[in-house]
Amino acid sequence: MSDFLRPLGDTGITVSALGLGTVKLGRDQGVKYPHGFTIPDDATTRALLDEARDLGINLIDTAPAYGTSEARLGQLLSQRQDWVIVSKVGEEFDHGQSHFDFSPEHVRASVERSLTRLRTDYIDVVLVHSDGNDLAIIEQAGTLEVLDELKRKGLIRATGMSTKTVEGGLATLARADVAMVTYQLGYDDERPVIEHAAAHNKGILIKKAFASGHLSNAITDPVQASLDHILGTPGVSSIIAGTINPAHLRENVNKARMALGAR
């Protein structure tokens, strides 16, 4: 296995150290980026996905809350077997507003809808899209239990949660395969979750590695510094970075490979 490919804990899934986030493929409302953008057309999106694959990326992150992202990926992704697809349950985005439903009924319907949209028989990883009340979701909603049921049926390969608290991240790893946590230069609050994952062979996906484009300009190369920091931390499986700019994609991959010493 090359340095750019890493195990996702003990799931048996191998992921690229950098994954492609796809919110910008399907949603341009209620996003927290410093600059506006236009959702790319099908030809541009297909070219971006092909370039990502050619650069060694095999991990794609999407969600029902990302507007038309899932449906577009289902239409535009070629060679399903080449991709590890991460999707989510719990958050919906309609008419410019997010709302949440963690009930077992909604989770089942959401996964079935994602399978249809993505035009696939299985989803590699399904995460709960937390609203911030991590422990309440884990302990009271029964959401992870439903994902486990769907995993046993072969519809999902691995389960977990995109968490917002240390307690939630640790509780997720006690009951599931993967936690997605925030980790970046100047923000190490959730590092205990990563350390727990490293000690117990669980998967860790990193979100907001570049602070949604708001990294400090006080550092000469904040993206490289952030990649060095994150990929040098034991327990990290992959960083999810969203871009629709091919030049940024190439730059991010080159810098990730530099951080890994895999030039």
Question: Which residues have a catalytic role annotated?
Answer: 66
Residue 124: C-alpha distances to residues 15, 51, 220 (Å): 11, 21, 37
Q: Which residues pair with 92 in a beta bridge?
A: 99
Listed in sequence order, the residues at least 6 apart from 205 whose beta carbon sits closer than 8 Å to its beta carbon are 8, 19, 61, 86, 127, 162, 178, 179, 180, 181, 237, 238, 239, 240
Residue 137 in contact with residue 102, Cβ under 8 Å? yes
Dist CA 42 CA 71 (whole Å): 12
Dist CA 176 CA 202 (whole Å): 8
| Tokens read off for 193 | 């979750």
